Structure 1
Amino acid sequence: MPKEEFFVDMTCEGCSNAVNRVLSRLEGVQYEIDLPNKKVVIESNLSVDVLLETLKKTGKEAKYLGCK
């Protein structure tokens, strides 16, 4: 499965919890949240568009950075 890297404008534990909440609803997704660097690495067979839309549901700015 490819690993995709995203920027998410997280500033606190609550922000990373929001990311955790939306990603945990997706089937077959593994992810790492790097709060200090505002990055999320997601390992999944889902499209980048689906992952980005899911991250945007947190209400935070989210951008695709590329394949890791």
Structure 2
Amino acid sequence: MTCEGCANAVTNVLNKKEGIGNVQIDLQGNRVLVTSALPSDEILQIIKKTGKACQFLGIKK
């Protein structure tokens, strides 16, 4: 993600999914932090619907 438009697209698609608690976009770090009980694979599939490549980096404790 390189712009606010990309960030908004990812945020909007994630916020439509029930079970997503919080979405934080770090444009500079090119990361998305999602608070959810959903499996990471499901969240990745949701993000990929925006046309953005993504990968799971881990769980923040």
Moved over 6 A (4+): none
Higher strand share: 1
The higher-RCO structure (CA 8 Å, 6+ apart) is 1
List gaps (5 residues or longer) in structure 2: none
List gaps (5 residues or longer) in structure 1: 1-9
Other-structure match for 2:36: 44
Distance (Å, rounded) in 2 between the aligned partners of 1:50 and 1:43 = 13
Q: TM-score, normalised by structure 2?
A: 0.89
* Counterpart residue type for residue 39 of structure 1: R
How much is the aligned-residue C-alpha RMSD, in angstroms?
A: 0.9
What percent of counterpart residues are identical? 49
Q: TM-score, normalised by structure 1?
A: 0.80
